[in-house]
Structure 1
Amino acid sequence: MVGPPRGARAPLKNQRPNTSHSAIQRALATLQQFLHVEAISGVVLLFAAAVALIWANSPASHSYHDLWNLLLPLRLSEFAFVRSVHFWINDALMTVFFLVVGMEIRREIHEGALSRFDQALLPVLAACGGVIVPALVYLSFNNTAGRGHGWAVPTATDIAFAVGVLALLGRSIPSNVRVFLLALAIIDDIIAVLIIALFYSDGLQPSGFIVAAAGIITALGLQRLGFRTALIYVVPALIVWAGFLVAGVHPTLAGVVLGLITPARTAGAETEPPVVRVEAALHPWVAYAIMPLFAFANAGVDLRSIEFDGGTQFVALGIGLALCAGKPVGVIGATWIAVRLGGCRLAEGVTWPGICLIGLLAGIGFTMSIFIAMLAFTDEKLLDAAKFGVLLGSLISVTLGLGWGAEYAQRQRNVRS
């Protein structure tokens, strides 16, 4: 009987390849890349919003609004689909943003922070608190029919801005605090998507859902047949998008649906699953082009024309206060209750000062908040007031987050030294 070579370790009985370790390593590498892109994106977003505000409040402000109202036709033979530049940015390009959101959710559920119930429960409860309390704060100022429609505006967290501010605080912030914030923001996105689908979709047309279902079935069929090239899914994606548009559901939600059905496992000779590969390819485009373009097209509020009367002042006040105060109270309060009742515990390295930092940064709404505001308000005065409230509340949240975060980071450095 031939034994193992001298000096070699005998294999352990029933030893299996350490697939879980490789999955963890892949998940961590993906997370680090994601956080890096989001951190830089936050700076680009801030620059785009600042340029939009300066332009919209300059003597050439009319050209800012005229630019987004230009009509751009999409022509296929005799068919012409004519929409404004604003539409192509907010309803078409932002679909790619929501596609990445859907893929983030899919990846996190498969092997990330949402893959285990015990890991996901605490950020889920924190996110729910961060949605309920801001909505109540807003409605306490705006309980009338027209203004009350904007209750969901301050419920969302801007991942790019929040992660960007966290990056400015340096590496003294524990990694688990970053993971908690990312999980919270992703769950916020899930809730925001559900809110848009349930509360901001009017006059639904069943025929549109039939078209969208055909596109989804086609995409699933191509997956089943083993097609892994992303370009082949463009046609089914367009069918789903058109179906949602006809149905009366905001067409950008097509991106979420397509992201959620993207395969999360490797097949054949693949080294990475499609959900990781496609997200990695699209994420920089979304972070450095689509989101800044959205901010540039929508953050330009002419502050000189805002009239704080007829209830618009309460819209701005309600949103601003809900973001900078309601969000932290909701996130921190829900986390404290969950831990206090004994159903959850804080992860290693996450302390209550860290939870306070997460709560403050969760008040940075911006991208998703402005997006929901545009769905909630058709009245230009209310919309401008809502955007002003989002900008003000997010700015206060950034300031408070940086202030508290600097103190928290210093404490962390003192502990380590």
Structure 2
Amino acid sequence: MNPSPSKHAPGTWAPARRIAERVLGPLDRFLHIEAGSGLVLLVASVIALAWANSPWGDVYEHLWHTPVTVGVGALVFTQPVHFWINEGLMTIFFFVVGLEIRREIHEGELSDLRRATLPIAAALGGMVAPALLYLSLNPSPASRHGWGVPTATDIAFAVGVLALLGKRVPPALRVLLLALAIIDDIGAIIVIALFYSSGVAWSGLLVAAGAALGVVVLQRFGVRQAAAYVVPGGVLWWGMLRAGVHPTIAGVVIGLMTPARSWFGSHGFLSAARRAVDEVDALAHREGHRADELLSPLGRIRTAQIEAVPPVLRLQTALHPWVAYGIMPLFAFANAGVRVDGSSLGHTASTSILLGVAIGLVAGKPIGVFLASFTLVKLGVCALPRGVGWRGIAVVGCVAGIGFTMAIFIAGLAFDAAEKLAAAKLGVLCASASAAVIGLLVGRLALPAAPAPDAAKTLHEAETSTEH
């Protein structure tokens, strides 16, 4: 009888292994906490703010203007570091957003129009009300272009705040917030594409369309390797940039085109894995077999494992940690460093921009979310999810006021003038912090605490005896 494999890989050094477990164990647990991404974003923002307002603030500013050249031979493309973060790495962020939207449309909250009606209405209300509040405070042409800034919700921070409320938050309320945030992302993408892109150059759109067609052709030929789509994705990005449409939209387009159905599925995986395992078992009982003979059955198991889940889920799962703990904190670090002094608020327009963004997020979001939900429920168009009351809707509205990543991103598109951009970013930072605190306080006061296990058991028994 062959012994079972050891728990640890051969050749490992026990002291080094124990050190790795002590260091990586807590890190691994932290990365699985929903609030972890929001905490990393917060730390990156605080460091950026502190650096920008320190005696070394000029170093912070100059860092992001350092030119970086990408290219081969005569084909070179030179842009500052800030460009490569906001237009390059953030394309991957938008790609993951596109994957999430594609998955929700296929099998999530957006797959059924009746279930999606409430979060759609709440998201639309949560976009219209902040925009109107902002425009009421910024009617002048010099500042009204920033109306899109307070319309966005940051899903990482919002989910993180709900996670801090613990068991007070029913699962249905968490799902409602996720659906609202996803629809909010769709709205933000549409706003960016329609209102924050320069004049459209049709030659660039033709290049982008050709790249999208190339993706379709690869899919029709059955190409399953994700690496094969990097080149057409890059061409699509360049086409969008040349067309005057913000290039990060290319990430959304590729994400929406990613297949949402699995090839093998669970049954296909079991069938292929069993055949491969039987082949391995036959090799194990044959004397003198070579190690390379295992490669073929193990390769089939690997293929079955990869294709057991849809590509949209596989890619989202693989990229999400990199986006949540790498790209988004780097974006925050590069964009949240606002110098807070008289120069950033020295103009009346800057002050009105700051107030418009802050009031739009902190007040406009909860007002819009609550009124839109209340109106549709009272009209009988939709109903509240089971276990969710109006207090829960109020909490979702408050938490939706955390704009941060997407709001700062839109601010960078809306304003070219440094003082106006600084005012908009400062408004986003102040509003997001305020909305997080308000959301926690309202959640603590409005949502009932989960009963203790014994109390819950007693309550269940009492309800059962009453029914009988």
* SS of the residue 2:167 aligns to: coil
Given that 1:37 and 1:284 are in contact with CA atoms closer than 8 Å, whether structure 2 keeps it comes out as: no
Cα deviation for residue 171 of structure 1 reads: 2.5
Q: Distance in 1 between matches of 2:348 and 2:374?
A: 39
Look up the match of 1:160.
156
TM-score of the superposed pair, with normalisation by structure 1: 0.90
Indicate if the aligned counterparts of 1:216 and 1:236 stay in contact, CA closer than 8 A. yes
Residue 231 of structure 1 is aligned with which of 221, 227, 230? 227
Q: From the CA coordinates, give the structure whose radius of gyration is larger.
A: 2
1:91 matched to 2:87? The reply is: yes
Identify which range, 280-289 or 298-307, moves more after superposition.
Answer: 298-307
Match of 2:262 among 266, 269, 287: 266
Deviation at 1:40, TM superposition (A): 1.5
Aligned residue for 1:296? 333
SS at match of 1:271: coil
Tell me which moved more, 163-172 or 49-58: 163-172
Partner of 1:24: none
Cα separation, partners in 2 of 1:256 and 1:37, compared to 1, 3 Å? farther
Q: Secondary structure at the match of 2:435?
A: helix
Q: Distance in 2 between matches of 1:36 and 1:172?
A: 20
Separation in 2, partners of 1:251, 1:194: 13
* CA–CA separation in structure 1 for the residues paired with 2:71 and 2:194: 32
Q: Secondary structure at the match of 1:82?
A: strand
Q: Could you tell me how far 1:38 is from its partner in structure 2? A: 4.8
143, 146, 158: which one pairs with 2:142?
A: 146
Q: Is structure 2 residue 319 aligned with structure 1 residue 282? A: yes
Q: Does 1:331 align with 2:374?
A: no
CA distance change for structure 1 residues 357 and 413 in 2, over 3 Å: closer, same or farther? farther
Q: CA deviation at 1:339?
A: 0.5
Question: Matches of 2:130 and 2:32 in 1, distance apart?
Answer: 29
Secondary structure of the 1:283 match is: helix
Q: Is the 8 A contact 1:174 1:349 kept in 2?
A: yes
Q: Give per-residue Cα distances to partners, 1:74-128, cap 9 Å, x unaligned.
A: 1211222100000000000000000000000000010011110111010000000
Any conservation in 1 of the 2:261–2:311 contact (CA below 8 Å)?
yes
Partner Cα separation in structure 1 for residue 327 and residue 365 of structure 2: 26
Is contact 1:172–1:413 with CA below 8 Å preserved after alignment? no
Distance (Å, rounded) in 2 between the aligned partners of 1:164 and 1:394: 13
CA distance in 1, matches of 2:331, 2:33: 17
Structure-1 separation of matches of 2:451 and 2:382: 27
Shift of 1:224: 1.1
Between 151-160 and 199-208, the greater mean CA deviation after superposition: 199-208
Give CA deviations for 1:282-314 in whole Å, capped at 9, x if unaligned: 111000000000000000000024224231100
**SS state of the match for residue 128, structure 1?**
helix
SS at match of 2:147: coil
Give 2:233's aligned amino acid: A
Paired AA for residue 100 in structure 1: V
SS of alignment partner, residue 180 of structure 2: helix
Indicate the SS of the match to 1:43.
Answer: helix
Contact kept? 2:50, 2:337, Cα under 8 Å = yes
Name the SS for the 1:212 alignment partner.
Answer: helix
Amino acid at match of 2:214: T
Amino acid at match of 2:134: Y
Q: What is the CA distance between 1:170 and its match in structure 2?
A: 1.0
Q: Is the 8 A contact 1:162 1:364 kept in 2?
A: yes
Contact 1:38 1:161 (8 Å CA) reproduced: no
2:166 aligns to what SS in structure 1?
coil
Separation in 2 of the partners of 1:384 and 1:413? Answer: 46
**Alignment partner of 1:389 out of 401, 409, 427:** 427
Q: CA offset at residue 409 of structure 1? A: 4.3
Q: Residues of 2 paired with 1:376 and 1:311: CA distance?
A: 14
Structure 2 gaps, min length 5: 1-28, 265-303, 460-468
Alignment of 1:102-121 (within 5 A): 102-121=98-117
Return the alpha-carbon distance in structure 2 between the equivalents of residues 372 and 234 of structure 1: 26
State the identity %: 54
Q: Which amino acid aligns with 2:87?
A: D
Structure 1 contact 159–185 (Cα < 8 Å) conserved: yes
Aligned residues: 384
| Secondary structure in structure 2 of the residue aligned to 1:260 | helix
Quote the residue 1:374 is aligned against. 412
Cα distance, 1:308–1:371 mapped onto 2, change above 3 Å: same
Mapped to 2, the partners of 1:382 and 1:360 lie a distance apart of 26
The one of 17, 23, 35 aligned to 1:39:
35
Q: Which of 300-309 and 324-333 deviates more? A: 300-309
Counterpart of 2:62 in structure 1 is: 66
Structure 1 residues 195-234: aligned runs within 5 Å: 195-234=191-230
Alpha-carbon distance in structure 2 between the residues aligned to 1:229 and 1:407 = 50
SS at the partner of 1:115?
coil
Give 1:411 shift: 3.9
1:166-181 map, 5 Å: 166-181=162-177
1:169 is displaced (CA, Å) by 1.1
CA–CA separation in structure 1 for the residues paired with 2:448 and 2:67: 52
Secondary structure of 2:357's aligned partner: helix
Gaps of 5+ in 1: 1-32
Task: Answer whether contact 2:142 2:349 (CA < 8 A) is retained.
Answer: no
Deviation at 1:408, TM superposition (A): 3.5
CA distance in 1, matches of 2:354, 2:203: 38
State the secondary structure of the residue aligned to 1:145.
coil
Indicate the SS of the match to 1:92: helix
**Superposition RMSD on alpha carbons, in Å?**
1.5
What letter corresponds to residue 40 of structure 1 in structure 2?
G
